[in-house]
A = this chain, B = another copy of it.
Amino acid sequence: MEKKSIEYVLPEEIEKRSFEIIAAELAERGITLPAEQDPVTRRVIHTSADFDYAETMTYSENAVEIAKNLIKNGADIVTDTNMALAGINKKVLASFGGEAHCYMADADVAAMAKERKTTRAAISMELASKLEKPVIFAVGNAPTALIQIYELMQERDWCPAFVIGVPVGFVNVEAAKELIMETDVPYIINRGRKGGSNVAAAICNALLYELKRIN
């Protein structure tokens, strides 16, 4: 077999070129993203190679600025999967004083979920709601996590600092996202079925990298 080769692109060049390609293809499609949202939506497209996100990513008013300010002031991030936790740049987050958490694999979370006949994700959100500092909830998997956040907001005098709502799937996913959009919580949500732990992590990283770039 004849050996083939691919033009070698330096690691640091790969990302730069990728974003240039995304920009060019967005332009071809006649899509102009609002300046504030642009780095976030582009990073989601970068992580999925899916331009549908340019049409479905939804931001509450000044969402990106609010989320960036939270991180700059040391907010924590709580995810609903260990995959999302693994994908978030925790070093950059720590440089602002924040920590990332995921309670999904904790033994007591599993036990409580079983006892209360609910999901571990719902229990995880409840635990996170008790953290005594501002928390960005980054939900990439379980619509039940978003539903739980909504229920907690109704039951108690509590509102999360921020919700990144990008669960993926076919059962209750769209409805759970709509619920959050009806509240006053600042959010970044991907309407529809699409999302994922990779998308949740990409949104967090886009915010972190914007802050790092400016600082």
Contact = CB atoms under 8 A, between A and B. Distances in A.
A69 to B, nearest CB: 26
Given A1-B182, A6-B176, A197 B194 contact: no
Q: Which 8 A-B pairs have the closest CB atoms?
A: A49-B193, A86-B86, A18-B170, A21-B170, A82-B86, A83-B87, A83-B86, A49-B194
A149 to B, nearest CB: 12
Counting every copy of the chain, the complex holds 2
A169 interface: yes
Interface string A157-190: 0000000000011111101100100110000000
A175 B9 CA distance: 13
A11 interface: yes
A48 interface: yes
A14 interface: yes
Given A50-B50, A119-B11, A17 B171 contact: yes
Contacts of A150: 4
A106 interface: no
